[in-house]
Amino acid sequence: MKKTLIAAATVAGLATGAHAEEKNLVTIVTSPEPQTQLMSMVLTMQAVQQGATTRVLLCGPGGDIALKDAPASVTAPQPPKGMSPQGLMSKIMEAGATVEVCAIYLPGKGVGPEALLDGVGVAKPPEMAGAMLADDTIIWSF
C-alpha cells in the first residue's frame, strides 16, 4: 500500500516535471490492446523526456511489441500522430531507456533472443525484482 501511495504522489511530480531526474520508473506492459500499449509508451516517453531513469518490462501480449516479426496490432500506426507501440518503444530505447521482455516470455513463445528487436533484452528476475523494490522506484502497469 505504501508503494502505491508513493507512486501516486510521484506520478504527479513527474507530470509537472518536478525532480523527474531523481526518479526511477519501471513501466510494465501486459495489455494486448494496441491503444493501451501505445499510451503506455506515450507516458513512458514523457517520463524519459522529463529525466526519469526508465526500464520497460514487456510480458505476455505486451512482449509482442519487442518482436522483430511482430503482429500488425503493435506496428500499425494509430491516431492522432500515426505512431505505433513498437515505433514509440524504439524511440524510447534511443532516448536511453532499457527495454526487456519477461524471462518466461521467449520460452513461452518457443523462440530465442534472436526473435527480439536489436537492443531489447531479457529481464533477469533478481535484477528486475530489485529495481521494482527500490524505495525510489515508481511502477506503472498497463
- Phi/psi for 35 (5° steps) reads -65, -40
Question: pTM higher than 0.95 for the full model?
Answer: no
106: part of which helix (H) or strand (E)?
helix 105-109
pLDDT-derived band at 22, boundaries 50, 70, 90? confident
pLDDT at residue number 110: 97
What is the per-residue pLDDT across 112-136, written as a single tens digit (0 to 9) for each?
Answer: 999 999 999 999 999 999 999 999 9
Residue found by looking up cell 530505447 in the block: 93
Average the pLDDT over 33-58 and give the result: 98
Can you tell me which residue has the cell 531526474?
21
Collect all residues with Cβ–Cβ distance below 8 Å to 109 and sequence separation of at least 6: 63, 115
Residue-averaged pLDDT of the chain: 90
Mean pLDDT of 28-36: 98
pLDDT of residue 52: 97
Please state, in angstroms and as integers, the Cα–Cα distance from residue 16 to each residue in 19, 95, 135, following that order: 9, 20, 21
CATH code linked to domain 24-141: 3.40.1260.10
pLDDT given for residue 14 in this prediction = 52
Residues 79-84: what's their mean pLDDT?
95
Secondary structure E strands in 76-115: 98-101
